[in-house]
Structure 1
Amino acid sequence: MSESLPNTEPGWDEIPRLKIIIAAVACCLFLASMGNTIVTTAMPLIVSDLGGLEHISWVVTAYLLATTMAAPVAGKLGDMFGRKIVLQIAIGVFIIGGMICGLSQSMSMLVGGRLVQGLGGGALLVVSMAVVADILPPRKRSSVQGAFGAVFGISTVIGPLVGGFVVEVLNWHWIFFLPVPVAMLAATVLTIALESPEQKPHTIDFAGAGLLAVLLSSIIVVANIGGTMVPWASTPVYLLMGTIPVALVFFILVERRAAEPVLPMMLFRINNFVVSNVVGFCVGVCMFGTIAFLPMLLQVVKGLDPVESGLYQIPMMLALFGTGFTTGRFITATGRYKILPTISTGVLCVGTLLMTTVTRETPNWLIVIYVMLIGVGIGPVMTVNITAIQNSIPRSFMGVGTASANMFRQIGGSLGTSVYGAIFAAGLVTHLHGMLPAGFSGAVTTQTIAALPVEMQGAALDAFAAALRPTYLVSAIAAGIAFLVSLRMIENPLADTLAPVEPVRRQTPAE
């Protein structure tokens, strides 16, 4: 059950408090989002200090895995016990995880700390968005959610830059210590500003939460280790892939009988809940795939260094979060949102199709335009999905409904990146057949191609670009599916006042 707040439009005396709350939850969102990217530039120094090169990818994967698992559970707990207590606990867990990371003397300790930090970060990402739904009416909350999207984007872009700066000035341990004062300040502000709801007895769905954790972790882990850490045709991958359908079936059975399910099945009977999450899943495929493979294209095919290739992501991010923010303002001003995901996913489809035409002769400025189109296609969807979901579900399910948007987008991103990797690897073997030395294994880099005879280097670059094209074609297909599904969205009117918070209804086994 959410916080005890007026069910009418807030008066002038409430506005300063609301602004303080919004600023505090924006800080939470910023910290949780930046926690995923700030370590990337510090990886080489971490490995040289701690060793454990074989575990380095888990520093990122552990955080992603934990945030994905924590989001729906934290959203449900916020619905049951209030956002305030869940945010307080989440900030505490995030700080503890960061301290473990900062004090790490081994790679295994660092990965464990990242897992703990990710549990707190996942809860912060979701509950921060749900707080907005508690304090602002539907018509007004869109502009704030659009601004939150900009916060999310800024943190994604500057995370690696901040990490690099801290590593140069201090050392890598401080990238985990520096967020602590900000997190403590946000916790203090939220403790003072947020009200606590009247506590009522609840039944926690431990079985559902456990099965959901198994399901999500199996999906995320198999998507991240398959074809990279272990071959696809291996026992660990087979076991994980076999676990997914079993966990899904048992999860559905348990949720249909739970008194207060962690992810109520009745939500899947709500049109906009399903439409928004399917669109979010497809857009996640496009977004994370583009982010993962664009630097590779620019470095190998276009010959840019890593810093330059990173800078080419900024136009996409600026377009993404600029359109997300503008979308929020548009929704607040007009109350309209149905057409926005249809237009944006159409633009996304065009942008990804244009990326399939990129060769080594394509001008760099044209690539910038293409990736900006992709950003324009992604940005509005993130804002509209949250708006459509929150405006179509009961307020007592606001936390878990908001969490679903993050969960399906993350799953789409993880699966998309994994599928892209498999497609690209297979295409590279085909297109580079006969060009590489016999027995060659490992990643194809600019150094690999530079070591080839001069007369073969151009063909090798063309082959590399050709191997990447199918990944963008898959993105275009995913965007096309999102476009078609978005046509099914229903534009429910956005109210100018907060609706009453109905009691959390216990479902019967028949539901």
Structure 2
Amino acid sequence: MEHLEHKRKIMIMLAIMAAMLFAALNQTIVGTALPRIIAELGGIEYFSWVFTIFMLASSITAVLVGKLSDIYGRKPFILTGIAVFSVGSLMAGFSNGMIELIIYRGVQGLGGGLIMSTAFTAVADLFSPRERGRWQGLMGSVFGLASVFGPTLGGWIVDNADWHWVFWVFLPFGVLAFILILTLFPSVEKKPGEKVDYSGSLFLTTTIVPLLLAFSWAGSKYDWSSSQIIGLFAAAVVSLIIFILIERKAKSPVLPLHLFKNNVFTLSNLIGFIMGAGMFGAAMYIPFFIQGVIGRSATSSGLIMMPMTLSMVAASTLGGQFITKTGKYKALAITGLLIMAGGMFSLSFMDVNSSATVVILNNILIGTGLGMSFPVFTLTIQNAVDHRYLGVATASAQLFRQIGGTVGVAVMGTIMNLRMSDKIAEAGKEPGAQLAQNPQLVAQLKDLDPQVLMDPARLASIQAKIPAEFQPVFERLVGMLRDSLGYALTGVYWIAAFIVLTGFVLTFFLKEIPLRQSQKPGQGDETKEKAI
């Protein structure tokens, strides 16, 4: 597709960005709305699963479709992704409980993995590595713009309408994106001699699933040393060994192992994993701080998050232009990771007395660093492999980033719960003694827990039932819960900053190879040899 007319390429890119916009809007709208959804449906203990299941499902489909799209072309998979994502969004709006919501988020994830993996690979089909910088930046901007409007609209919906509309409002975008892709995207014939690696796909899946389940449950549902967690890790290791043995003999492996001999490919994926863990592990919990700790509404939470995404859009767009113009990307990634880590480190100093302005400034730092560095590593991976591996290479970038994000959210959620429990146990001794003398008051406060902090109306309803003489005790309890949640979250941000700093250090070891001006046969192999 590299030699299509420029006008046709632009139209195809508009179709691709429409598909990405649909998926991204449905992802980002959930963040600020979820605390209120949890307050209505209950199940704060499953909070991280709403994100974990999406990333788990999208990780699996992203890597599996990589090789398939190299064989059959990108079009059928991006169309399937849009259709599956639309069904998941529709059903998520009908959820009556957290378990149902998690299941339908998983369906969304299956479609989202198909969309994101094929969209970024299609850019590589259309443009040479040197030209991709500009388009990767613009695609990052599309996701950034969705991150601006999604959280704001999500907060407005749960404050002013039924939360179910969070999942339904953008369904028309799915129909539009499907029509555009169907009519504009060129079809390709199946590559001769290529077979689907069913065995490798199966054992890759059975490696990823127990691994992520182990990280999700360890320290919260089960002890790290429990038989359940050890069993999951053991299953992941056994599946990984079988997967490696299968891939070494497979004629058309789902994930060619020889790609990991390429230092640029391996290091870029490792940094992508680290960035995913740090970014998702911290960013997903920022709305909890805004709503639960400093007591802002869901709508305010969306507005406070907006500067992060606007700064990400600006940095991503300008960074992409810089890469296309200069052909340089390493310094951009290093600077971005350092800024991002600084923003997360600043988050760790916040508490119940922090102002919205402080949160906004820290979010701007994170957004700027993220916009500068995030698109770089997909570009480096695509530039380091031969064109026939574009799909699987791009999918690997998605896989490692998503696994990092899943592990990050799970580990950060465990840390948050443990720190919050310890802080509540320590801080609740004094009001607990007073409550022990008033069993009637204890019954009235049975619904007072950290998740009620995200629902001002419910909190006010509980307070209205408390006799005047016990209002000071109630206020101390609420203050104790806010302080405990803040203490737990700042610990999460500190660890996230350390994780991103690790990626910053590793980027210094990334070899900066020239961005190819074309993707003609032979040039990919030459570049790959230089990268090894």
TM score, norm. by length of structure 1? 0.84
Partner of 1:343: 335
CA RMSD of aligned residues (A): 3.7
How many equivalent pairs are there? Answer: 495
Q: CA deviation at 1:420?
A: 1.9
1:349-364 matched pairs, under 5 angstroms: 349-364=341-356
Equivalent residue of 2:512, what SS? Answer: coil
Which deviates more, 264-273 or 351-360? 351-360
Structure 1 letter corresponding to 2:450: A
Matched, 1:320 2:327: no
Matched, 1:424 2:424: no
Deviations 1:92-120 (A, max 9, x none): 33344445556778877765544333222
Unaligned runs of 5+ in 1: 505-511
Equivalent residue of 2:427, what SS? Answer: coil
Distance 1:155 1:17 in 2: 25
Q: CA deviation at 1:136?
A: 1.0
Which deviates more, 201-210 or 92-101? 92-101
Whether the 8 Å CA contact 1:219–1:411 is kept in 2: the answer is no
Matched, 1:143 2:150: no
Distance 1:180 1:80 in 2: 30
Partner of 1:88: 79
Distance 1:234 1:320 in 2: 41
Partner of 1:132: 123
Partner of 1:63: 54
Using a 3 Å threshold, how does the CA distance of structure 1 residues 443 and 256 change in structure 2: closer, same or farther? farther
Distance 1:352 1:114 in 2: 27
1:234-383 matched pairs, under 5 angstroms: 236-383=228-375
Whether the 8 Å CA contact 2:450–2:482 is kept in 1: the answer is no
Whether the 8 Å CA contact 2:16–2:119 is kept in 1: the answer is yes
Using a 3 Å threshold, how does the CA distance of structure 1 residues 46 and 355 change in structure 2: closer, same or farther? closer
Distance 1:472 1:297 in 2: 11
Aligned match for 2:514, one of 493, 504, 509 = 493
Partner of 1:159: 150
Whether the 8 Å CA contact 1:33–1:125 is kept in 2: the answer is no
Distance 1:295 1:168 in 2: 14
Which deviates more, 304-313 or 163-172? 163-172
Whether the 8 Å CA contact 2:333–2:373 is kept in 1: the answer is yes
Matched, 1:443 2:435: no
Distance 2:164 2:46 in 1: 18
Whether the 8 Å CA contact 2:385–2:393 is kept in 1: the answer is yes
Deviations 1:302-322 (A, max 9, x none): 333343233322222222232
Using a 3 Å threshold, how does the CA distance of structure 1 residues 491 and 289 change in structure 2: closer, same or farther? same
Structure 2 letter corresponding to 1:259: K
Equivalent residue of 1:312, what SS? Answer: helix
Identity across the alignment (%): 33
Which deviates more, 347-356 or 131-140? 347-356
Which deviates more, 270-279 or 179-188? 179-188
Partner of 1:396: 388
Unaligned runs of 5+ in 2: 437-445, 454-458, 464-470, 526-532
Aligned match for 1:479, one of 500, 510, 515 = 500
Q: CA deviation at 1:486?
A: 0.2
Q: CA deviation at 1:426?
A: 2.9
Using a 3 Å threshold, how does the CA distance of structure 1 residues 457 and 37 change in structure 2: closer, same or farther? closer
Which deviates more, 31-40 or 394-403? 31-40
Q: CA deviation at 1:465?
A: 3.9
Whether the 8 Å CA contact 1:280–1:381 is kept in 2: the answer is no
Structure 1 letter corresponding to 2:387: R
Deviations 1:22-64 (A, max 9, x none): 0101111122223334456776998999999998876654433
Partner of 2:456: none
Deviations 1:124-170 (A, max 9, x none): 11100111111111111111111111111222343344456678998
Matched, 1:182 2:144: no
Equivalent residue of 1:391, what SS? Answer: helix
Distance 2:291 2:36 in 1: 22
Which deviates more, 278-287 or 439-448? 439-448
Equivalent residue of 2:193, what SS? Answer: coil
Structure 2 letter corresponding to 1:242: A
Structure 2 letter corresponding to 1:309: S
Using a 3 Å threshold, how does the CA distance of structure 1 residues 462 and 328 change in structure 2: closer, same or farther? same
Structure 2 letter corresponding to 1:473: W
Using a 3 Å threshold, how does the CA distance of structure 1 residues 247 and 134 change in structure 2: closer, same or farther? same
Which deviates more, 292-301 or 108-117? 108-117
Aligned match for 2:18, one of 15, 27, 50 = 27
Distance 2:363 2:32 in 1: 23
TM score, norm. by length of structure 2? 0.81
Equivalent residue of 2:384, what SS? Answer: coil
Matched, 1:469 2:490: yes
Aligned match for 2:185, one of 179, 194, 214 = 194
Matched, 1:18 2:9: yes
Which deviates more, 267-276 or 429-438? 429-438
Structure 2 letter corresponding to 1:490: K
Whether the 8 Å CA contact 1:36–1:64 is kept in 2: the answer is no
Partner of 1:507: none
Q: CA deviation at 1:293?
A: 2.5
